[in-house]
Structure 1
Amino acid sequence: MKKIIGAIVVLIPIVFLAACGTSGGILGAGENELKLAHNQSLDHPVHKSLAEFGRLVEEKSDGEISVNIYANGQLGSEREAIELTQTGAVDLAKVSASALESFESDYSIFSVPYVFEDYQQFEEAMSNKEVTDRLYLQTEEIGFRALTYYNAGERNLYTKNREVKDVSDMNGLKVRVQPSQTSVGMIEAFGGVPTSMAYGEVYTALQAGVIDAAENNETALVNNNHGEVAKYYMYTEHQIVPDMLIMNSARFDRFSDEEQEIIMEAAEESTIYHEDVWEQTIKENTEIAKNEMNVQFVEVDKDSFIDSVQEMHKEFAESEKTGEIYDLLKGAIE
């Protein structure tokens, strides 16, 4: 009996994925219904922009193609969403560029601190077709391609009870980082102590003093209530890591040229739509954090932070894996 039960437990996820990957499977997808997975809440600006993408696809295709969105991580973590997209179990996924690092080294470029010194430089790079073609199509052989990106803001440092004015104030600071080796190296270069943990654990870790700080955009203060326990928000602006909308390569290729154009147009237009939604959300969240959570917003000596990571830039520029994308991106900015 134990052997039988064990076999059933092993088979359940296999059957689930197989069913997801077929038309009309347990996710209920028809031939022209696209399944899109992401891990944000329904009130997050990225979800709103993905909903706009779905609306545009349906409108432009006269209802022939629809997009069914699975939010809140219903289908798993970002890594699992990428893997499901690779296999075709889902058609599309919205994931952070940092989550794509372990699938394609080019995406690690976004985690290099101060590779963009401001948002204008980021926009210049992402409006360069040579840059986006390289990034979007580089992963086709491993099962997916990118359609567009969404602004996920500038990542800044926030602390429980320590004001940081320049990089010297980072010494010994325990900082939660994303599961990215580049982000770990960044905090070490700043003089802090990187601590990798799940995002959902950050609130209690700050509250209990397990970590002293975290880093993210302003939405974290309000949407995840981090402003209740973190009272200093520093404008370090150390990373600009976009969210990426990816699609299963084989599924994209099965559409006609006209249908592919519809999907690409809808993706690009949803990115433009997202800029306004994101800007308004950041303004609202900043005001709430200031006035209702008593978070102090602090300007820093950004040059001291930039100087501390120049060795990382040198390593990326000289690496066989990342040198080409680094030079391409820097060329687009210059």
Structure 2
Amino acid sequence: MSTIGRLTAISALAIAMALPASAETLRLSTQANAPHPWLDAAEVLREDMLKATDGRVDIQIFSGGALGKDATALDEMRMGTIDLLIGGTQEATPFFPEYQLFSLSYLFANEEVLRKAVAPESAISDYFQKVYEKGGTGLKLLALTGGGVRNLSNNTRAVTSIKDIAGMRMRVPGSRMDALMWETSGALPTSLPFTELYTGMQTGVVDAFESTISAYVANKLYEVAPYHARTEHQFMVSHITMSEAAFNRLSEDDQAALMRAAAHASQVAIDAGIKYDQSLLEPYVAAGQITVTEVDKAPFIEIVRPLHDEVAADLGVTDLLELIRNID
């Protein structure tokens, strides 16, 4: 063998020895763009797994819906072409109808109640673990999490009361539950994927929507909806879900490490949501790009609270609603 050949062989061997044995790269999909709690959670999930497995398990993060909207990605996960997803429970309702309960407004009294609800050891997390197991979807729940508080934004006028949203064409994700509050409050719900929202606002398909502040800023929706009203009607409930086939490929030790990493990522997303809600709007308000208004929430709460029992009964999740109410 020539000197060059020997050097090439030595280099190849060195590279092979440097690579972790049985390395695995998992593909993670999220519709979020930075800054967003889901991306913060994804980064922590990746860092924790790299550390726990000495680099054997890596996670490649695809943001901004690069692998498709959540419903598409979840379907791909069942076939094994995508491994992980971090997203809102609203988009996962075609697979898990029980998630529709989280679309009800003013369901959680405060952030502390939400944090207890989605904790790994909570009765609600256990409830959804069983929903996934019974569903036979080929998907596994790693953790529930948060992601900020949802507010109303529009391109028409400043909103300070329920009367101000009458007649607004309100974008909703698709489920009946998402439309219920806005329809009852006088708006005109229109189903539209989030990835089409910016264009939908530009073209007049819709003129209002609700979102977390993170999503509002990260997707530059303030450019097409400069009026932002603090309705604070919904704590975002999100999920970290994995392809069952991908999970089963991992060793028991790596599975345990992933569950620990997901629990950590869950807390990171909640903390990031709070941080972003408190800080992201400030520079845009100072620059005159966004008008923020406080809202009289009492009429909204008066309308929606009596619907909680009715909706839960229709969905067959009265037991889930009671679990939430019993959080102390």
Q: 1:90 aligns with which of 55, 77, 82?
A: 82
SS at match of 2:280: helix
Distance, in Å, in 1 between the alignment partners of 2:306 and 2:48 is 44
The match for 2:38 is: 46
Quick one: structure 1 residues 88 and 277, their matched pair in 2 at CA, closer, same or farther if it must change by over 3 Å? same
Quick one: structure 1 residues 60 and 308, their matched pair in 2 at CA, closer, same or farther if it must change by over 3 Å? same
Quick one: structure 1 residues 276 and 104, their matched pair in 2 at CA, closer, same or farther if it must change by over 3 Å? closer
Question: Residue 317 of structure 1 contacts residue 327 of structure 1 at CA under 8 Å; is this kept in 2?
Answer: no
The match for 2:114 is: 122
Amino acid at match of 2:125: T
Structure 2 gaps, min length 5: 1-21
Q: 1:196 aligns with which of 191, 199, 203?
A: 191
Deviates further, 146-155 or 197-206: 197-206
SS at match of 2:268: helix
The match for 2:125 is: 132
Please give the TM-score of this superposition, normalised by the length of structure 2. 0.84
The match for 1:223 is: 218
Quick one: structure 1 residues 266 and 62, their matched pair in 2 at CA, closer, same or farther if it must change by over 3 Å? same
Question: Residue 41 of structure 1 contacts residue 47 of structure 1 at CA under 8 Å; is this kept in 2?
Answer: yes
Quick one: structure 1 residues 297 and 129, their matched pair in 2 at CA, closer, same or farther if it must change by over 3 Å? same
SS at match of 2:281: helix
The match for 1:166 is: 161
Quick one: structure 1 residues 238 and 279, their matched pair in 2 at CA, closer, same or farther if it must change by over 3 Å? closer
The match for 1:300 is: 295
Question: Residue 149 of structure 2 contacts residue 273 of structure 2 at CA under 8 Å; is this kept in 1?
Answer: no
The match for 2:174 is: 179
RMSD over aligned Cα atoms:
2.2
State the number of aligned residues.
304
Distance, in Å, in 1 between the alignment partners of 2:168 and 2:80 is 42
Matched, 1:257 2:252: yes
- How many Å apart are 1:292 and its aligned residue? 2.1
- How many Å apart are 1:316 and its aligned residue? 2.4
Within 5 Å, which residues of 2 pair with 1:1-334? 32-41=24-33, 43-127=35-119, 129-140=122-133, 141-319=136-314, 321-332=316-327, 334=328
Distance, in Å, in 2 between the alignment partners of 1:83 and 1:119 is 31
CA offsets per residue over residues 91-135 of structure 1, 9 Å max, x none? 211221011111112211110111113323212322352110111
- How many Å apart are 1:31 and its aligned residue? 6.1
- How many Å apart are 1:249 and its aligned residue? 2.1
Amino acid at match of 1:36: L
Question: Residue 159 of structure 1 contacts residue 230 of structure 1 at CA under 8 Å; is this kept in 2?
Answer: yes
Question: Residue 125 of structure 2 contacts residue 144 of structure 2 at CA under 8 Å; is this kept in 1?
Answer: no
Distance, in Å, in 2 between the alignment partners of 1:96 and 1:296 is 26
Structure 1 gaps, min length 5: 1-29
Distance, in Å, in 2 between the alignment partners of 1:185 and 1:320 is 14
Distance, in Å, in 1 between the alignment partners of 2:308 and 2:214 is 28
Question: Residue 148 of structure 2 contacts residue 214 of structure 2 at CA under 8 Å; is this kept in 1?
Answer: no
Largest Rg, 1 or 2? 2
Quick one: structure 1 residues 118 and 208, their matched pair in 2 at CA, closer, same or farther if it must change by over 3 Å? same
SS at match of 1:75: coil
SS at match of 2:190: strand
Question: Residue 47 of structure 1 contacts residue 71 of structure 1 at CA under 8 Å; is this kept in 2?
Answer: yes
